[in-house]
Amino acid sequence: MIIEPGDLEAEQAPMRTIASTGKGGGHAASRRILGRSGELSIPVRLAEDVPELAAYVRPAREILDEAYRRGHRILLEGTQGTALSMFHGEYPHVTSRDTTTSGTLAEAGIGPRRLRGAILVTRTYPIRVKDPDDEGGTSGPMSQEITFEELSQRSGVGLEEITKTETSSVSRRLRRIAEFDRDLLRRSVELNGAADIALTFADYLTVDNQKAQHYDQLTDDTIRFIEEVEQVSGVPVSLISTRFDIRVVIDRRRW
């Protein structure tokens, strides 16, 4: 679906009440549904309808079928988080689509029997985008919200580093942060059929974890936290990131 200037304009004011990024994706998706009659003021255009994109567009099924024949592995990353799912999140503070494993497979055009496993990515401290300061809106409920200052004091990670990391990549707004939510973890594991968990921001438990390269080098409290996550979820924590860097992931997989 092509996002048109009218989609961007339509989302600027009303969507601020739920702290949306306002990038037009939701409005464009609604036009795709309502535009089947062809009578909308903004015509529906798909990528295949734009000549300038012809060199970059082809049916996804052709690529997928080739991957199946060659026995390749396919990795899909779902959009946003489970709690933002249109169908399973805290409406109206949700995104414009289903964000679960099943929704991701459906959008990609991959049948469920092809799925080998789902990896649930979860942070030690969950986030949502910060409320718009001038509108009094909210990005939705969070359990036991805390401040960046409190997190910095607990973990030993510098406040400036946390603030830089917790600035949204799309809206460039600061995020909200809260205590680990065990109920949300259990619900997310169930909805996504998770076979493994990737735990991120282990350094938010303590900055000492930034030096760990192996599981047994994590602090005792961190290992107890991971064991609790596994007990609550019934799923192994197989990947652990120790700071905001792609090169510092502890891999415990036995796949």
Residue 179 lies in a domain: yes
Write out the residue range of the structural domain in which residue 188 sits: 117-251
Task: Find where tokens 């973890």 sit.
Answer: 185
Same domain, 121 and 222: yes
Distance CA 4, CA 28 (A): 7
Euclidean distance between CA atoms 84 and 91, whole angstroms: 8
Residue 9, in any domain of the structure? yes
Say yes or no: 28 and 133 in one domain: no
Tell me the chain's radius of gyration from C-alpha atoms: 20
pLDDT for 39 equals 77
Indicate whether 65 belongs to any domain.
no
Q: Is the pTM value of this prediction over 0.85?
A: yes
Tell whether 91 is covered by a domain.
no
Q: Is residue 6 part of a domain?
A: yes
CA atoms within 13 A on the CB side of 89: 23
Residue 127 lies in a domain: yes
Is position 220 within any domain?
A: yes
Question: Beta strand pairing status for 127-129 and 175-178?
Answer: antiparallel
Looking at the 3D structure of the chain, how many domains does it have? Answer: 2
In this prediction, residue 139 carries a pLDDT of 76
The Cβ-side half-sphere exposure at 211, using a 13 Å CA radius, reads: 5
Same domain? 173 vs 50: no
Per-residue pLDDT at 14? 64
Give residue 183's identity as a one-letter amino acid code.
D
Residues 121 and 210 in one domain: yes
Q: What is the pLDDT of residues 81-116, one digit of tens each?
A: 999 999 999 888 888 899 999 999 999 999 999 999
Q: Give residue 137's pLDDT.
A: 62
Check whether residue 230 and residue 144 sit in a common domain. yes
Q: CATH number, domain at 238?
A: 3.90.170.10
Average pLDDT of each block of 10 consecutive residues along the chain (255 residues)?
92 72 87 85 91 94 95 92 92 90 94 94 90 63 91 96 86 86 96 96 96 95 98 96 87 82
Model pLDDT, residue 106 = 94
146 occurs within a structural domain: yes
